[in-house]
Amino acid sequence: MSLTNLSNIDFLLIMGRAVFLVFSFALAAVTFTGWRRAARRQSEQMQAQNLALLEQLAQICARLDSTDQQVRQLGEQLEHSAARSASVTRAAPGYQIAIRLARSGASADELAGGCGLTRAEADLVRRLHGPSQGELRQAS
């Protein structure tokens, strides 16, 4: 009887080990499947974030291109403005001559005709730099 009992106990131990191994294998399979799903979700999240970052980068590049064009346009406007101010500076000697003529008593018509000024500019130069009414009386 002890032999049969012992073989029953051995059989039960072997069966217990087998059940434990099957349970451990099933638990490991479930755990690995969960890890794989989690890794897949993480990978999909990373891809979504990567796509969002790429879209933002494309928007930044578009803004940069737009800003670059605006800077070029402003540079061109600045060059045109500098060219215009240079032409105004070149015209300044005409004003210098008009001022000298106005100080010597030239009329607004003479200033406009001789120095290339408009009638309004000639009147202004004459008022600012021409002899005052008191000086004109003293001279005559």
Other CB atoms within a 10 A radius of the CB of residue 107 amount to 14
- What is the C-alpha to C-alpha distance for residues 126 and 100, in angstroms, rounded to an integer? 10
The whole-model pTM stands at: 0.43
How do the pLDDT tens digits run along the chain, 140 residues long? 455 666 889 999 999 999 999 999 999 999 999 999 999 999 999 999 999 999 999 999 999 999 999 999 999 999 888 877 766 555 566 788 888 888 998 888 888 888 888 888 889 989 988 887 655 545 55
Of 104, 101, 52, 103, residue with least CA distance to 112: 101
